[in-house]
Structure 1
Amino acid sequence: MQDLAILFSDPAAWAALATLIAMEVVLGIDNLIFISILTNKLPPERRAFGRRLGIGLALILRLGLLSMVAFIVQLTEPVITVFGAGLSWRDIILIAGGLFLVWKATREIHETVDHKAQEEAAADGKVTIGFGAAIVQILLLDLVFSVDSIITAVGMTEHLPIMVIAVIVAVLAMLLAANPLANFIHHNPTVVMLALGFLLMIGMTLIAEGFGVHVPKGYIYAAMAFSALVEGLNMLARRAKAKSGGTRH
């Protein structure tokens, strides 16, 4: 406890904590979008539980990985060579996760634009995935995002308490935002396509990162924010048009 008090008496420690929390929250957005889209395909009465379980698994994975920091650091050491480039276990995990995310987003886009599939889903109450299958897919992506999150944390600070606090705060923020975000996506069908586009972009970014091509996260999230802003303006325009149409009648 004394060591902890000494650590947090250092202004640099507080600065590192604030920076790391912000970074972890931003990285958690990717995870949260995937969980929201996937759990919206569950029966209505199980969606909230599925989100809480998915986010809870993310917290357990992150804390578990933090307890093995020395092992996690070793994941950045090259283990195989592909086309002359050395790939570490972290790279392999990111590439596999990116490929899965691209496949999943592409499949979801196909189902969204396939009117026949939509009609069949509506007839079944929009339940197009089993609870167990949803949790397994969430767990797989939780693992990918958790490895990336913890390696990012290790690169920003050497103090384990700061990493633990940042991870817990970020996951709690995900927990608070999960239901509002999922409900917003569910009630605004056009946002679903935008979110799936985000997942495609995130998947390609993970693959690029796995092959050693660094993509600045600021560019990715700036593009996402701009797209979300444009869609928000479109939604406001549609609502204004609907109101004016209703007024004329």
Structure 2
Amino acid sequence: MDLSSVSFVDPLAWGKLAEIILLNIVLSGDNAVVIALACRALAPQQRTKGIALGAGVAVVLRVLFTVLIASLLNTPFLRIVGAGLLIWIAVKLIVEDEGQDEGSIAASSKLWKAVQTVAIADIVMSLDNVLAIAAVAKDSIPLLIAGLIISIPLIVLGASLITSLLTRFPVLVWAGAALLGWVAGEMFESDPWLIARFGEELLHKLEYPAAILGALLVLGLGYLIKSRRPDPAL
């Protein structure tokens, strides 16, 4: 479905906006921790400024990269490839601990150095966020930008809260992974090559079945892999 003509009074637009915010929060727990780690050596009076500036730079770069990827998704086969990547990212979210090693994040006592660290780390770590959000927003650039502008400050301000919630309630990680699988299913069936081959009307009817299948595939693969891994406590 083309969201470029959807206004913000449309319930569909609000639903997609909620998807963007939820995905960004679930996928950005480690990014929020990076911001805190990079600014931890700043003087107390500079720390808040460093976090705010780092988040601001991250927002601008994230919007630019997401708009670029969203425009490229109109190329045949890229949505199919992107759907596969989202499935892989979602399963990885379930089966692996994605917490960032504190030793790999350089803290700096200089404000702009800390901001630079935040910006670079956010670029390197944000492929999953960018791809997922571009898939949800599709062709609606205003919706895409609004979702990012709303969610990124929430992530920065609630870095420790988000991290502790994801740790205490693993079901949130599973829910986020299932949502990624849902988005992957929607992304797959909207590929221009498939539309040209099978027709938009048929594929539109398969939108929800494909989304449900994507979510179930992620949960099934995640459960299967986790169940076969040896318990680290043993």
**Number of aligned residue pairs:** 171
Which amino acid letter does the alignment assign opposite residue 173 of structure 1?
A: I
Q: Distance in 2 between matches of 1:38 and 1:142?
A: 12
Q: Distance in 1 between matches of 2:74 and 2:146?
A: 23
Per-residue CA deviation, residues 130-154 of structure 1 (Å, 9 max, x unaligned), is 2566544422342222212222333
Answer with 1 or 2: which has the greater Rg. Answer: 1
Corresponding residue for 2:88? 95
Corresponding residue for 1:39? 35
Mapping of residues 19-168 of structure 1, within 5 Å:
19-44=15-40, 45=47, 46-71=50-75, 74-77=77-80, 88-92=81-85, 94-95=87-88, 99=92, 105=98, 108=100, 129-130=105-106, 135-154=119-138, 160=139, 163-168=140-145
Structure 1 unmatched ranges of 5 or more: 78-87, 112-120, 122-126, 155-159, 220-249
Q: Distance in 1 between matches of 2:18 and 2:176?
A: 21
The question of whether the paired residues in 1 share the 8 Å contact of 2:70 and 2:134 is answered with yes
Corresponding residue for 2:153? 176
Corresponding residue for 2:214? 214
Corresponding residue for 1:83? none
Q: Distance in 2 between matches of 1:128 and 1:176?
A: 24
State the SS of the aligned residue for 1:37.
helix
Q: Distance in 2 between matches of 1:16 and 1:24?
A: 12
Q: Distance in 1 between matches of 2:177 and 2:19?
A: 20
Q: Distance in 2 between matches of 1:37 and 1:67?
A: 30
Per-residue CA deviation, residues 91-117 of structure 1 (Å, 9 max, x unaligned), is 136525864896562x55xx7xxxxxx
Percent identical residues: 11
State the SS of the aligned residue for 2:105.
coil
Q: CA deviation at 1:181?
A: 0.7
Q: Distance in 2 between matches of 1:215 and 1:42?
A: 35
The question of whether the paired residues in 1 share the 8 Å contact of 2:33 and 2:160 is answered with no
Which amino acid letter does the alignment assign opposite residue 33 of structure 2?
A: I
Q: CA deviation at 1:202?
A: 7.3
Q: CA deviation at 1:31?
A: 3.6
Q: Distance in 1 between matches of 2:73 and 2:87?
A: 18
- Going from structure 1 to structure 2, the CA distance change for 1:141 and 1:129 (only over 3 Å counts) comes to closer
- Going from structure 1 to structure 2, the CA distance change for 1:37 and 1:146 (only over 3 Å counts) comes to same
The question of whether the paired residues in 2 share the 8 Å contact of 1:61 and 1:142 is answered with no
Q: Distance in 2 between matches of 1:137 and 1:103?
A: 19
Which amino acid letter does the alignment assign opposite residue 17 of structure 2?
A: I
Which amino acid letter does the alignment assign opposite residue 74 of structure 1?
A: F
Structure 2 unmatched ranges of 5 or more: 41-46, 107-113, 186-209, 220-234
Q: Distance in 2 between matches of 1:199 and 1:134?
A: 25
Per-residue CA deviation, residues 146-177 of structure 1 (Å, 9 max, x unaligned), is 212222333xxxxx3xx111111111112432
Q: Distance in 1 between matches of 2:56 and 2:72?
A: 25
State the SS of the aligned residue for 1:40.
helix
Which amino acid letter does the alignment assign opposite residue 151 of structure 1?
A: A
